[in-house]
Amino acid sequence: MNEEKLEQQNTVTEEEEFELIYERPVHLTETRLHYCPGCGHSTAHKLIAEVVHELGIVTKTIGVAPVGCAVFAYDYLNIDMQEAAHGRACAVATGIKRVMPDKYVFTYQGDGDLAAIGIAETIHAVNRGENILIIFINNAVYGMTSGQMAPTTLPGMKTTTSPYGRDTSSMGMPLKMCELIAPLKGTFYVTRQAVHTATNVRKARKAILNGFKYQTLGKGTCFIEIISNCPSNWKMTPVQTIDFIEKDMIPYYPLGDVKVPKPEDLKQ
């Protein structure tokens, strides 16, 4: 085939029509993300933007950003956002929800923010049954501050502060936040999902959708843990992190619902 014919084949004419099958979510801003290539935070942000748009609740939604990798979440989500001091997102969300009970209030936190410095705020908020949604990103390290050991770091996992691997005899076992808070009476919906494959992204989206919808019932805290990858601090390529999640993260942090509402609980 000569070059002229090839060019004609590749030229789009004005008469041709294309079907749009995907576009940037309306409530995800065009601000360039600062996250490392392969990081799961951007996917989680996208899911929140999609769900808020689908439910038509953007003017009624208030998010609370953490201190950590997602500290600039307010730059990426075209949603009313409030910044919280390190670990205090659940406390801030509690105040917002109590003052404006008609709003959809969610926190977006990493493992250092939620499970370390903020563990007290987290446990007490869910124990009180605060009517908020907590979205917890678990990548097993402190991402923003160079990959130190977090409460969720796996046994034997190397970090900048556990260079020989997490020694559980001296450093304790990783915290399984879903299993820790699910028995508390204040929790209404507790689930653990992931964003490293297309199938899991769809499941995570469904969980976030449920978390926002359940808030209208006013029956307790919804807690969604999302297993995410951290190529930079895991010292892996993005593709290698997917394998690590499958072989190491998920066996320790199994995916799926930990606590779901009973059918009668879904009634107003």
CA distance 233 to 3: 48
The pair of structure tokens assigned to 93 is 């969300």
Confidence of residue 23 (pLDDT cuts 50, 70, 90): confident
The pair of structure tokens assigned to 186 is 């204040």
Tell me if 177 sits within 8 A of 225, measured CB to CB: yes
pLDDT tens digits, 95-143: 999 999 999 999 999 999 999 999 999 999 999 999 999 999 999 999 8
For 59-132, strand residue ranges (E) read 61-65, 80-83, 104-110
Q: Which domains does the chain have, with CATH numbers?
A: 25-266 (3.40.50.970)
Q: What is the pLDDT of residue 155?
A: 98
Average pLDDT over residues 80-93: 97
The pair of structure tokens assigned to 187 is 């929790």
Amino acid (1-letter code) at residue 233: N
